[in-house]
Structure 1
Amino acid sequence: MADRLLEAVTAGVRHVDLGRQLRVGMPQSPNHPQFWHTLPRRHGDMVRADGGSAANDMITTGTHVGTHIDALAHVSQDGRLHGDADATDSCIGGKYVEHGVHTIAPMVCRGVLLDVPATLGVERLDGGYEITVADLDATVERQGAAVEPGDVVLIRSGWSQLFEQGQPYVGGPSGVPGVSEAGAQWLAERRIHAAGADTIAFERLAPGKGHGLLPAHRVLLVESGIYIIEALDLEQLAAEAIHEFTFVLVPLNIFGATGSPVRPLAVVSA
């Protein structure tokens, strides 16, 4: 029996890379260890008898740095994780056995881009702007792509245009645009599989408030069991007006971790 997926791939597909390149010094949340890459051995440090040489690398990084996914173990509320799991008892030997990133299955599913700046007629949203339920509804109506159960919904704010500037992307005094609790509830009501954004904290950060309160994380991770993907690059999807696509994401299989760097892809017909 012919495999329909293989037939589609053979007929021709292309992908849009939604992940940020990992580089030393890239902007990130101040709450997580930074990414670091070095070469313990370089070509010429050790040369074989036949003239051959090999270089190797070492990296250290927080798991919530660069484009990454939050496991359900990442956030607790009043000492409880998703499904009322005890946040203390779930951590065994320094590993979150329950709800760690190793429990996230690879994702090959329908992806939907909600391009909010395009709906509002702006290049990017202002720092601290709250993406409202009305904004989400208007974007769905404009694009004509309904959000369905099991989807991965990616919300563009345009804020990633500041990524190469470093600190302005982090926000700080300016704040960062994104959904708040109401927007997260809107997503949860649609029983999506995961939600992502082009910012480091997914949700709205009020000017000057930093990461002090993250209600959307509570709604999605703790109350609804919906994964969060952060620091996505959604500019090419927006430029090409690609609003529906096959979304592919595979977390690193790190036992007991609260998150993982990822390189998600949007796959469309060629």
Structure 2
Amino acid sequence: MTRLIDLTQTLDPANRARLPPALAGAAVVVAPRIEYQHPREQGADEFCRYLGCTHDDLPDGEGWGSEILTDMSSHCGTHVDAPLHSGSRIAGAPARTITDIALGELYRPGLVLDVRPWAKLGEEITVAMLDAALAATGAAIQPGDAVLIRTGQERYSMDDPEYYQQPGMGRAGTLHLTRQGATILGTDAVGWDLPFGLMARKFQQTRDKAVLWDGHKAIVEREAFIVQQMTNLGALPLSGFMVGFFPIKLAHCSAAPARVVAFVD
């Protein structure tokens, strides 16, 4: 019997209030604003407006339930990054958008690389850490695999400062995985790379542009899809499962929110 394990965060507008003031501008990637229209309230009003009736005419006193979503990024919540997010050209060819990706590319065998024994807040996840975590799976990365990085960020909630100081992937680690054949790269952290504040400070100190978003920019050299803000990776075996990453079909976009589900025998 196959178990379905949900790896998707809930898009709850209440999470916006949990962001630290310094990160208020990131609200669009945490959750949309939602106007709830209950069947007995605004839903009844809308029903009557469209159908030319009054509340007294409603057979059960109710209209329809509906919601209006606004102020939402294509990178909101658990989402799939298309190659276009990393640059306009990937491996010398025009970058693909989210609607260029076939469903078969998004339903793949999965591996969990648990780097919690070595990863530290605000520090890069190294190739040595990845290799040690891969050895623990007893498997090798095969072409087309989805590699999911368990960083340990499930310990924290959006109320915790540590949530925004995730261990991050850099260029070396990202290419190490894609060169072995991984085409989907997932993380339970809020971002794939190191926190933006740390990258900015590194750049100010060194003026080395290579430190800016180097994990994502590694996709320019070798195509893959990055999936961020996953959850529940601890419920998975380290290998031997399938995982589906099914983004909303947003035409020509660089990303889309997705329902991510693992299928475990």
TM range (shorter): 0.7 to 0.9
Contact conserved, 2:137 with 2:238, CA < 8 A, in 1? no
Letter in 1 for 2:191: A
Q: After TM superposition, give the deviation of residue 115 of structure 1 in Å.
A: 0.7
Task: State which of 181, 189, 192 in structure 1 corresponds to 2:179.
Answer: 189
**What runs of 5+ residues in structure 1 fail to find an aligned partner?**
1-11, 87-97
Task: State which of 197, 221, 232 in structure 2 corresponds to 1:223.
Answer: 221
Q: CA RMSD in A?
A: 2.5
User: CA-to-partner distance for each residue in 1:243-266, whole Å, 9 max, x for gaps?
Assistant: 331111211111111100011111
Q: After TM superposition, give the deviation of residue 36 of structure 1 in Å.
A: 1.2
Letter in 2 for 1:263: R
Task: Map residues 147-226 of structure 1 onto 2, 5 A cutoff.
Answer: 147-165=141-159, 167-169=161-163, 171=164, 175-205=165-195, 208-209=198-199, 213-220=212-219, 222-226=220-224
Letter in 1 for 2:8: G
Q: Distance in 2 between matches of 1:31 and 1:50?
A: 44
Which structure has the bigger radius of gyration? 2
Letter in 1 for 2:262: A
User: CA-to-partner distance for each residue in 1:192-235, whole Å, 9 max, x for gaps?
Assistant: 11101011221223764469721111112x21110100001144
Q: Distance in 2 between matches of 1:147 and 1:68?
A: 23
Q: How many residues align?
A: 232
Contact conserved, 2:113 with 2:238, CA < 8 A, in 1? no
Identity between Structure 1 and Structure 2 (%) = 25
Structure 2 match to 1:110: 109
User: CA-to-partner distance for each residue in 1:97-138, whole Å, 9 max, x for gaps?
Assistant: x62211122222101110111x54xxxx43212211111111
Distance 1:208 1:134, change over 3 A: closer
TM-score when normalising by structure 1: 0.77
Contact conserved, 1:128 with 1:206, CA < 8 A, in 2? no
- 3-state DSSP class of the match of 1:113? strand
Distance 1:242 1:138, change over 3 A: closer
Structure 2 match to 1:24: 13
Task: State which of 96, 99, 120 in structure 2 corresponds to 1:126.
Answer: 120
Q: Distance in 2 between matches of 1:24 and 1:210?
A: 29
**What runs of 5+ residues in structure 2 fail to find an aligned partner?**
45-54, 204-211
Q: Distance in 1 between matches of 2:181 and 2:218?
A: 12
Contact conserved, 1:63 with 1:258, CA < 8 A, in 2? yes
Distance 1:165 1:243, change over 3 A: farther
Structure 2 match to 1:69: 80
- 3-state DSSP class of the match of 2:177? helix
Letter in 2 for 1:33: V
Higher helix share: 2
TM-score when normalising by structure 2: 0.78
Q: After TM superposition, give the deviation of residue 31 of structure 1 in Å.
A: 5.3
